[in-house]
Amino acid sequence: MIPRLFITSGLQAGQTVNGSQAQAHYLKNVLRRAAGDAVCLFNGRDGEFAAHIADLRKAEVTFHLASQTRAQAAEPDIWLAFCLLKRDATDLVVQKATELGVSAVLPIVSGRTNVAGTNLDRLRAIATEAAEQSERLTVPALHQPQTLGALLAAWPRERTLAAAVERVAADPPGGQGGLLVGPEGGFSGGELDALHAAPFIQAVSLGPRILRAETAAIAGLALLLARSSW
Ligand code: SAM
């Protein structure tokens, strides 16, 4: 298997670029790679490149870029706003949302969210690894946690937001530019009123069963992304 790595530098055939300390550790100590071994690099802007390890030390790695193997291409532009869950469930949502192809992840704190915060650096690492594994050309943008009120106030009016609401007669998601999923305790009555009043929101159903929030996020995104072009 050729390791596929996300790096931040610009990519151009013939160049030598630096990887991170974590990538040096991963290549040397986990994958047991050495100078001369092949890698595949992408940075979210310049497509994907075939490269090889030029130099690999304990905490440093450089890559030499051969040729571009994929040009940067348009990807679906679907955003996931989800109320923060316990650590493992939040990690799962970020990983699966990245695999499924979201362009942005917006962690939300709602009235019934019972998690104080999250570690964005860890979530960024999870999203980066999922993008590497799933052969995406980008890593989704990861936003700072915000309240549900702040999300609704700032949401672009032209972007339809599918709000997953259980026990309502509504259509499945499809064609919207974003998905909103509530916390384990669901949205409060006041929050549901605010969602129904927002002109850019469509309440959507994910079926007759009550899904765990992480299941709702993954299933809703699968439905949304299956209908968007890529
Ligand atoms: N505690 C709530 C209850 O028992 O009524 C259930 C909340 S559910 C575990 C967490 C979130 O998943 C909900 O806020 C909603 O966004 C989403 N969800 C779960 N099942 C759904 C369904 N069948 N249709 C739409 N959304 C659903």
Residue to mutate, 93, 206, 210, ligand 1, most ligand atoms under 8 Å from C-beta: 210
Confidence (pLDDT) at 229: 55
pTM for this prediction: 0.96
The runs of H, that is alpha helices, within 10-160 are 21-25, 87-100, 120-133, 148-154
In the chain, the domains with their CATH numbers are 4-70 (2.40.240.20), 78-227 (3.40.1280.10)
| 212 in contact with ligand 1, CB cutoff 6 A | yes
Confidence (pLDDT) at 174: 87
Ligand 1 nearest atom to the CA of residue 207, by list position:
23
Closest CA to 226 of 174, 170, 180: 174
List of residues 6+ apart from 150 with CB closer than 8 A: none
Confidence (pLDDT) at 175: 86
Confidence (pLDDT) at 230: 52
Residue to mutate, 171, 209, 211, 224, ligand 1, most ligand atoms under 8 Å from C-beta: 211
Kindly tell me the burial class for residue 208, based on how many C-beta atoms sit within 10 Å of its own C-beta (0-12, 13-18, 19 or more). Answer: exposed
Task: Give the integer Cα–Cα distance in Å for 85 and 97.
Answer: 14
DSSP E strand boundaries for the chain: 4-6, 16-18, 38-42, 48-56, 61-70, 79-83, 104-109, 141-142, 146-147, 161-164, 178-181, 201-204
Three-state SS at 178: strand
- pLDDT tens digits for the chain (230 residues)? 999 999 999 999 999 999 999 999 999 999 999 999 999 999 999 999 999 999 999 999 999 999 999 999 999 999 999 999 999 999 999 999 999 999 999 999 999 999 988 999 999 999 999 999 999 999 999 999 999 999 999 999 999 999 999 999 999 898 889 999 999 999 999 999 999 999 999 999 999 999 999 999 999 999 998 866 55
| 114 in contact with ligand 1, CB cutoff 6 A | no
